[in-house]
Structure 1
């Protein structure tokens, strides 16, 4: 083992010991011990803060089932300064490792450490900045690793989930929460949003990025992307990842569909200004010259002043794609990302000059952008 790897191992052991000390001093009991609380009627409630013993047992079972598939990802840096980047990842059933693109950056190789402290080098075989996903090919995988799989269906809001990874460098950690929302759009440094994202209240911190968000059946509902606060975190959806990852393995890149429009959600004020019957859909406010929508869709060409705000008027309002309703901008992004590919011709139902009509638009490949 190299000095660089020994340094990482030593640091992880120190952090792990520190974490155990913090937990013991904060709670004074083991993680599975029942906590006594007093009900309003004066009797004791010994079910525990996070549910009864059966629930705690399920969490422990899933942890043991999944944690061997979760890895620490480090990007090399000067030995005296530590790694340039650190995050989490997880092994798929075909032994490839998935993580965030922002974790690996421009690296061509990274170092992985498994739960059993084994280190291995992994080649970066594909990255996609638009979805913030990267795929790694490790030189070795321990025998204990089985690999995880993505769920096929969108999770239910309120469904319990567990986040596993290495927050703040504390290895092999787990937090619990629920799915707080679906079909969120996340900001991306490329200028395009990451669609169809999962929102959760599971605690996420730096170092969790790239780790799995799993169901109580041990299936991956999302790739942890970011934590916005103590109660709001986000993950790239399994549905998007399941489209992107195979292409990254096969070709090293992924091509996203592109309409070439700018849009605004139709709220009550915009609906009133445009004499629309209901506040649903998205108004086309901009069309990229020479793009797929040029000559097919019509952009807003007027405006009306409400207070100190100019409300755009005219232009097409997109209300459906292939007969599927598009109530807002997030739904438009999710539909394009999960249901279409460059080269597809799609039927758009639009409201134009107060009348509904259908137009045909051929999607193109999203243009390259300057950015991470």
Structure 2
């Protein structure tokens, strides 16, 4: 995906206590939301007596750490545009890989809330998680590091998306966590696992900014490539694994099984003798991959002879997103895992040693064009 391409405008920060700072981004049809949460029958709007919304304090406590990322492409080619990012310490900024991909040398400029500019360099990128870490010398004092959450958010939890949607600087939209453990399209043919779904309005320009809880902790890194009527973020749980490796090594190695899988529906479950349609059917095993000789694929796309993965290391695997999330969040290359399978109607346990994911075999596909999955999808 090319970086978010919005015109760069100057920041319009709301700093006086009497003003509600809900600069809510519009949805894909241009509708704005200015909702507030209930805080009891005496004040159903959720607003304080001074007119501030319940989200004002969270905005104030985080906005100085949220930045605008302006990118110039090499030779005036692809790579120009802007997105968002957020400071995590006195040197580093997290954003999306697709925001800075294709940037020319010295072509990444960062604007802070006090309107100071800095030139940033790329420390590391990971196309599989769509995360990137930038380095800035002489970080402005106004920008404190935000913390990545170490726990999964609750469904229904209130969240704020802070960034620069459609070039509207320092904007905030709000919503709830609509779902977790989602799979997002990636430019590689592998999905991005463990993602967060939200109904907070998200648009191009939001990419790379934080999705925060009301306590100000970062629950995810906003991903604006999947559409404007439903929002997603790369989970902080995944970022907590990837970001430190990018800072230390510039790269991150993902665990890899080397299988293609598909869901087990009622018809497949009946054919292979499962009591319930649960787990994932192995329909492809990559030659010379970790699963070669360990797992058996179905015959010519039919369930006959194919292994059904139902658990890993005692953790139930009810579907494909659960498999992807477990591998991404709980394992590393070199780990040996115990896989509970059903083979020819009989439960068995096999061991498999994971490897590092190989380089993508095909050119990246644009993120907005669709999930870009290989049918069947190849798991990490």
Q: TM-score, normalised by structure 2?
A: 0.82
What's 1:13 paired with?
Answer: 10
Higher helix residue share: 1
Counterpart for residue 213 of structure 1: 211
Q: Which of 160, 167, 192 is the matching residue for 2:158?
A: 160
Q: Who wins on radius of gyration, i.e. which is larger?
A: 1
| Gapped regions of structure 1 (runs ≥ 5) | 1-9, 18-22, 35-43, 304-310
The 1:332/1:57 distance shift into structure 2, 3 A limit, reads same
Please name the residue that 1:317 is paired with. Answer: 308
- Aligned residue number for residue 246 of structure 1: 244
Secondary structure in 2 aligned to 1:183?
strand
The alignment's C-alpha RMSD in Å is 3.0
**Closer, same or farther: CA 81–186 of 1 in aligned 2, 3 Å:** closer
2:98 alignment partner, SS class: helix
Q: Does the CA-based 8 Å contact 2:74-2:102 persist in structure 1?
A: no
1:195-250 per-residue CA deviation (whole Å, 9 max, x = no partner) reads 00000000000000000000000000000012644541100000000000000000
Q: Is the 8 A contact 2:166 2:203 kept in 1?
A: yes
User: For residues 200 and 33 of structure 1, what CA distance do their matches in structure 2 show?
Assistant: 15
Q: How far, CA to CA, are the matches of 2:8 and 2:312 in structure 1?
A: 52
Shift of 1:106: 2.9
In structure 1, distance between residues paired with 2:178 and 2:92: 29
User: What TM-score do you get using the length of structure 1 for normalisation?
Assistant: 0.83
CA displacement at 1:56 relative to structure 2: 4.9
- Give 1:273 shift: 2.3
C-alpha displacement of 1:47: 3.8
- Larger RCO (CA within 8 A; separation ≥ 6): 2
- Superposed displacement of residue 145, structure 1: 1.2
Q: Residue 188 of structure 2 corresponds to which residue in structure 1?
A: 190
Aligned equivalent of 1:141? 139
* Alignment partner of 1:345 out of 336, 341, 346: 336
Q: Name stretches of at least 5 consecutive residues in structure 2 with no aligned partner.
A: 1-6, 15-22, 27-32, 365-380
Alignment match, 1:225: 223
Decide whether aligned partners of structure 1 residues 113 and 79 sit closer, same or farther in structure 2, where only a CA change above 3 A counts.
Answer: farther
Instruction: Please point out which of 84, 89, 92 is paired with 1:96.
Output: 92
TM-aligned CA distance change 1:130 to 1:33, over 3 Å: closer
Aligned to 1:60: 56
Number of aligned residue pairs: give it: 336
Q: Distance in 2 between matches of 1:346 and 1:77?
A: 43
The change in CA–CA distance for 1:11 and 1:84 in structure 2 (over 3 A counts) is closer
Structure 1 residues 229 and 161, CA gap change in structure 2 (3 angstroms): same
Supply the distance in 2 between the matched residues of 1:301 and 1:344 (Cα, whole angstroms): 29
Distance 1:302 1:62, change over 3 A: same
For the residues of structure 2 that align with 1:203 and 1:217, how far apart are their CA atoms? 20
Residue in structure 1 matched with residue 19 of structure 2 by the alignment: none
Tell me, yes or no, if structure 1 residue 204 matches structure 2 residue 195: no
Q: Residues 169, 324 of structure 1: CA spacing in aligned structure 2 closer, same or farther, 3 A cutoff?
A: same
SS of structure 2 residue aligned to 1:67: helix
Aligned partner of 1:150 in structure 2 is 148
Deviation at 1:277, TM superposition (A): 1.1
